Amino acid sequence: MQTVLFDRDLSWLSFNYRVLLMAADPKVPLYERVRFLSIFSSNLDEFSRVRLPALLALHQLKAEAEPAVLPAVQREISRQLGVFGEIFTQQLLPALRNEDIHLYHNEPLQPAHHAAVRDYFYTTAMGFLQPVFIRLEQPVEMFLENNALYLVVSFENDEHAIVNVPSHALPRFLALPDQHIIFLDDVIRHFLPQLFPSRKVTGCYSIKVTRDAEIDVDEFSGHLLQKVENMLVRRELGLPTRFLYDASMPDTLRDRLAAYFRIAPQEMVAGGRYHHLRDLADLPMPVRNPAFTYPKQVPARIQALEAADCLLDTVMKQDVLLHVPYQHYDYILRYFNEAAIDPDVREIYVTLYRVASGSQIVNALISAAKNGKQVTVMVELKARFDEANNVRWAKRMKEAGVKILYSIPGLKVHAKVALVKRRRGYRYEHIGLMATGNFNESTARFYTDHVLLTAHAGMTQELELLFIYMQTGLPPARYQFMQFTHLLVAQFNLVDRFTALIRREAEHARAGQPARIVIKLNNLQEKQMIAELYAAADAGVEITLIVRSICCLVPRKGIRVRRIVDRFLEHARVFIFHNKGEEEIFMGSADWMNRNLHRRIEVCFPIYHPQYRREVKDIIALQLADNTNAVILDSQIVNIPVEKQPGEEDVNAQQAIQAYVHTL
């Protein structure tokens, strides 16, 4: 029987639309609503760079086996952009004005601001401008940079020029007196006559090109580090996937520009006057009002760890489970810092996928190497859009004496694990760290994740086995002798174990026993795992899913799917199998996507400690009780707000978890 699935791209767009609707929610603080517009725009830019190229290629090939997804995707993007414009112009701009904050939006410059704008144009902006006259009847004469902003200027006598908007070098917004704000684009627009003094401007329209980011490093020869550096250069020269233009542009000019820049019709997208609105995240706040942003939340401290002289000693006695950002990330930094200076620590192993630009963790690893410890770091150079940062840190660590392992051929290392080996007499203590999110103290402020610190002999020994494997780089098939009993490791046992756990629940249901599965993921797309869930639901298993982003599973009898979009980005992966009341609980790095299960090294780990098992179940229960920001995904891929029952109190999961964690 064919497995019925949602299209992954339409599912992702459904998620991004939920992000967009947060900007329309009056319960969300004003500047946070503006920030959600920025997140929506940033997400859509990445979608255009990563997913649209594949859809365009399939469309051009007219592959009969593929449904006509591209037109549906383009219609949905167009619809969402219309909603974006309505929220921005009809809701947020008036809301800002009600707070005496005025963002210029396609309107004349007030005389009181002319001097300030004129001074900024001549002393700052003008030095970054590169006006270029173009002949639309000639072959292409210039290259439009990826995601850069440009103004197409029309003159009398059918002349045209293109002017860059240097938002990469200058702030996108200029704060003016009387709590007014103006786009950099409009600063340039107001002074086009001065930029082209001998010509009469008849029109000005914004454009932006997004280019394909999916370039395979295997195209390049040589060492992987050099391959990635070459790929970074090539990426910015990728083929166009989206040509965003001002919808007020005359059709004739639009078509001539498309021909001039060799843009296919399906790559043309009508937009508003302003593009690249991810920059709204940097909108100045001339009125400092605490009500404009989320109230500051102080992460909880763990008293036992605060009182401990040595975190590593504490972990040797008992596991530690952290829930960030509700609890302090400082304990993770302390794990690496203590390992770096402890004279008895001899070896440190860690995987790095996305690293903070000023990473304290990497600096601790560099210090450890300089302190004479053997430090081995698997740096994933193919972490999309973080490649340059990872290359930079890899070079710095290597210069300091850190042993750097680069990506395994054909695989990405997405696991978030570390291992410290400490000498005690004639033996070694193993202290492991396993997480659902990256070792990144920057994103840890707004990504919800779980981190386990453990000295469990079985888990830490299996972690050491995994690091031995990663140092060889040989295919997993050469390591069938590796037996992972506690850890679930993609390429070895992860898919088989999850499949067995689902089927066991189905067997319990068929035997008339209670059978339940609760799974929280970022993305659910892998066809075989979805088929297993369908079969389990058909057998009578009660399945509840919390899926933030892509969900290709179609909800049906026995399977409920909900989505939570709120202040923090829900990032943790949690798996709970009822097992006749003896639950098995796992966490880890692996979403159920083709790439995660079949083309990556992932690690999921069990939660054994009774207290932490209770905490995990309590946190998941609060997320399942959310009736303010949670939505139910229906069979038409629509987000349906959770209905609050009569007399039921409001439950916001993230606020409730924050309060709960402070009681632990």
Per-residue CA distances from 432 to 31, 331, 365, 456 (Å) = 40, 13, 15, 8
354 among annotated binding-site residues: yes
Q: What is the rounded CA–CA span in Å between residue 346 and residue 282?
A: 45
How many residues does the structure list for the chain? 664
Check if the beta carbon of residue 48 is closer than 8 Å to that of residue 210: yes
What is the DSSP code (8-state) at residue 138? S
Q: In whole angstroms, what separates CA 103 from the centre of its chain?
A: 29
One-letter amino acid identity for 452? L
- In 3D, which of 250, 254, 247 has the Cα closest to residue 275? 247
428 among annotated binding-site residues: no
At residue 245, φ and ψ (nearest 5 deg) are -135, 155
548 among annotated binding-site residues: yes
571 among annotated binding-site residues: yes
Per-residue CA distances from 613 to 107, 302, 311, 586 (Å) = 58, 17, 21, 10
In the set 414, 430, 456, 508, the catalytic residue is 414
Q: Which tokens sit at 37?
A: 């517009």
Q: Which tokens sit at 603?
A: 């690690």
Q: What is the rounded CA–CA span in Å between residue 114 and residue 479?
A: 71
Which CB contacts under 8 angstroms, 24+ apart, belong to 357-361? 357/389, 357/442, 358/442, 359/393, 359/439, 359/440, 359/441, 360/333, 360/336, 360/441, 361/332, 361/333, 361/336, 361/439, 361/441
447 among annotated binding-site residues: yes
Q: Which tokens sit at 450?
A: 């779980």
Q: In whole angstroms, what separates CA 450 from the centre of its chain?
A: 17
Alpha helices in 145-238 (DSSP H): 184-190, 192-195, 224-235
Check if the beta carbon of residue 202 is closer than 8 Å to that of residue 158: no
- List of E strands, 447-507: 447-454, 488-489
Q: What is the rounded CA–CA span in Å between residue 369 and residue 481?
A: 32
Q: What is the rounded CA–CA span in Å between residue 73 and residue 71?
A: 5
Task: Tell me the Ramachandran region of residue 530: left when phi exceeds 0, alpha when psi lies from -120 to 50, beta otherwise.
Answer: alpha
Q: For tokens 């329309």, what's the residue?
A: 24
How would you class 7 by CB atoms within 10 Å of its CB: exposed for 0-12, middle for 13-18, buried for 19 or more?
middle
Q: For tokens 């193919």, what's the residue?
A: 382
Check if the beta carbon of residue 236 is closer than 8 Å to that of residue 211: yes
Beta bridge mates, 182: 174
Q: What is the rounded CA–CA span in Å between residue 302 and residue 45?
A: 40
- Is residue 328 annotated as a catalytic residue, yes or no? no
Q: What is the rounded CA–CA span in Å between residue 586 and residue 604?
A: 6
How would you class 197 by CB atoms within 10 Å of its CB: exposed for 0-12, middle for 13-18, buried for 19 or more?
exposed
Q: In whole angstroms, what separates CA 339 from the centre of its chain?
A: 30
One-letter amino acid identity for 217? V
Check if the beta carbon of residue 188 is closer than 8 Å to that of residue 167: no
- E strand or H helix at 604, and its extent? strand 603-606
Beta-strand relationship, 427-435 and 447-454: antiparallel
**What is the set of active-site residues?**
414
Binding-site residue ranges for Mg(2+):
354, 384
Binding-site residue ranges for ATP:
43, 447, 548, 571
Binding-site residue ranges:
43, 354, 384, 447, 548, 571
